[in-house]
Amino acid sequence: MKLVRYGPPGGEKPGLLAADDSLRDLSGEIEDLSGLALSPAELARLHALDPSSLPRVSGDPRFGPPVGSVGKCIGVGLNYADHAAEAGMAAPDEPILFMKANTALCGPNDDLTLPPGSQKTDWEVELAVVIGTLTRRVSEAKALDCVAGYAVMNDLSERSYQLEGTGQWLKGKSCDGFAPLGPWLVTADEVPDPQRLRLWTKVNDEIMQDGSTATMIFPVGFLVSYISRFMTLMPGDVIATGTPPGVGMGRKPQVFLKKADVVEVGVEGLGAQRQQVIA
């Protein structure tokens, strides 16, 4: 099942994509795709609906992030050994965690506004995991049972904010619009193995990243279990699981985003997103 939120920023409605790719309105069934609406019971109820019985949405509305009222957006750093190498950093012995402000979340095709003074804004395609049940100290064996679904995220990063000066990852990861999510949330039942997905990035039609979740250092189940040791994960929390090599910081010479660039990122089976860079 592919679940979406559509409409203007702050006024998104829940919807789903039917098998014929028509957009159907879910606002008569749930208030939003958030919280308990992402629980296994509620997702099973939505799955049982006949999409043809739901109102068809006309036109070509904007898609917002497919999860509303996100409480936490947790990033995992250097989770691909070849990305760590291109960044000149050692592969970690245990996951590196950081937070992205939930105000960084935006729609998958919204324009990307460079933050003031930005010189080193970079791209990072990532598999995003959306939690569906309250999760605390879950075992790795049961961790995937806590996942509502998966989505594409571009974990945008301003490298000078992240690594220079005081060098705080939070600052470099949390600018407005730095977490485009979507286009849709694909429920976990349609992703039997999250460790077998291709990820890619194009900048101005040139392939920059082309990797696979198979090369993650720490797989999804381990990450959910590990993070739940340190904090309670709530329905709707988002985990960005790391990026493969090919970021702008790792290129020789380095390449960063500038006005008028177009960034496209995608994950196999989860769709693709596109950002136009504006000043």
Name residue 248's amino acid: G
Among residues 211, 173, 162, 185, which one has the least CA distance to residue 107? 185
**CB neighbour burial string for 47-79, b if at least 16 within 10 angstroms, e if fewer:** eeeebeebeebeeebebbbbbbebebbbbbbbb
User: What average pLDDT score do residues 168-182 get?
Assistant: 96
Q: Does position 89 have pLDDT exceeding 90, yes or no? A: no
Tell me the backbone φ, ψ of residue 24, rounded to 5 degrees. Answer: -120, 140
Q: Does position 167 have pLDDT exceeding 90, yes or no? A: no
Per the DSSP assignment, residues forming a β-bridge with 158 are 121
Q: Does position 165 have pLDDT exceeding 90, yes or no? A: no
Over residues 128-143, the pLDDT tens digits come to 999 999 999 999 999 9
| C-beta separation of 216 from 245 below 8 A | no
Tokens of 171: 């600052």
Over residues 193-219, the pLDDT tens digits come to 999 999 999 999 999 999 999 999 999
Over residues 65-82, the pLDDT tens digits come to 999 999 999 999 999 988
The residue ranges of every structural domain in the chain are: 2-53, 73-278
CATH number for the domain whose boundaries are 73-278 = 3.90.850.10
User: What average pLDDT score do residues 235-252 get?
Assistant: 96
